[in-house]
């Protein structure tokens, strides 16, 4: 079975993430979307909330599983017999960090885990979770960037602050 993992913060999930998920899911028998449980950051959504949002958004994709992880991604891969990491590349600015991380993961896994990059569709090449958060902070329209069901969940977070 061809398996891959698409790791990330997904805080919040955007159409850019969904674009990568859809395209990667058609290339593998099983795609696990893994939300990083990063205790160092103070996220907008809890890990559980992000897992639920991703599950709702991908419910029509039968071979996509949603999970969370903490610690090293290569350990997560090793435990699940996953040898491919998927990452989206939006622009050249993403490249340096992604190249370094991919090479580190390959080294850490003794050449057992490779990274495959999908170039984000042009329609979403400018889009980032940070931009969505910034627009939402100021009450801007985020309907072009995230699915309809996610909008009130994001708006609610900012109405509490
Ligand atoms: O959506 P993001 O924040 O760009 O995702 C980054 C992520 C989760 C892929 C990356 O931070 C990660 O894999 N973190 C886990 C720790 C790890 O394994 N780091 C790689 C060695 S540098």
CATH code of the domain in which 54 resides:
3.40.50.620
Instruction: Tell me: pLDDT of 150 over 90.
Output: yes
Mean pLDDT of 11-32: 98
Which pLDDT score, from 0 to 100, does residue 151 have? 98
Residue 150 belongs to a domain: no
Domain range for 91: 3-125
Residue 156 within a domain: no
* 14 inside domain: yes
Q: What is the mean pLDDT of the chain?
A: 96
What's the gap in Å between 136 CA and the centre of ligand 1?
25
pLDDT in tens, 105-130: 999 999 999 999 999 999 999 999 99
Are 33 and 65 in contact by the 8 Å Cβ rule? The answer is yes
Q: Is position 10 within any domain?
A: yes
Does the pLDDT at position 59 exceed 90? Answer: yes
* 134 inside domain: no
Question: What was the pLDDT predicted at 57?
Answer: 98
- 46 part of a folded domain: yes
What's the gap in Å between 30 CA and the centre of ligand 1?
A: 20
Taking the CA of residue 101 as reference, the ligand 1 atom at the shortest distance is: 22
Number of compact structural domains in the chain: 1
Under the banding of pLDDT at 50, 70 and 90, the label for residue 91 is confident
Residue 153 resides in a domain: no
> Is 155 part of any domain?
no
Does position 161 have pLDDT exceeding 60, yes or no? no
Question: Among residues of the chain, what percentage have pLDDT more than 90?
Answer: 91
**Mutate-to-test residue for ligand 1 from 71, 72, 94, highest number of ligand atoms within 8 A of CB:** 72
């Amino acid at each position: 079975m061809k398996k891959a993992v698409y790791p990330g913060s997904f805080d919040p999930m955007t159409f850019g993430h969904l674009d990568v998920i859809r395209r990667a899911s058609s290339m593998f028998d099983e795609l696990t979307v893994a939300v990083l449980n990063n205790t160092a950051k103070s996220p907008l959504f809890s890990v559980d909330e992000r897992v639920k949002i991703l599950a709702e958004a991908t419910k029509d994709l039968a071979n996509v599983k949603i999970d969370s992880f903490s610690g090293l991604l290569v350990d997560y891969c090793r435990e699940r017999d996953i040898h491919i990491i998927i990452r989206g590349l939006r622009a050249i600015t993403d490249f340096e960090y992604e190249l370094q991380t991919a090479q580190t993961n390959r080294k850490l896994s003794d050449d057992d885990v490779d990274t495959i990059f999908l170039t984000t569709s042009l329609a979403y090449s400018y889009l980032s979770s940070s931009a969505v958060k910034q627009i939402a902070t100021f009450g801007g329209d985020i309907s072009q960037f995230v699915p309809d069901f996610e909008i009130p969940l994001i708006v609610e977070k900012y109405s509490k602050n």
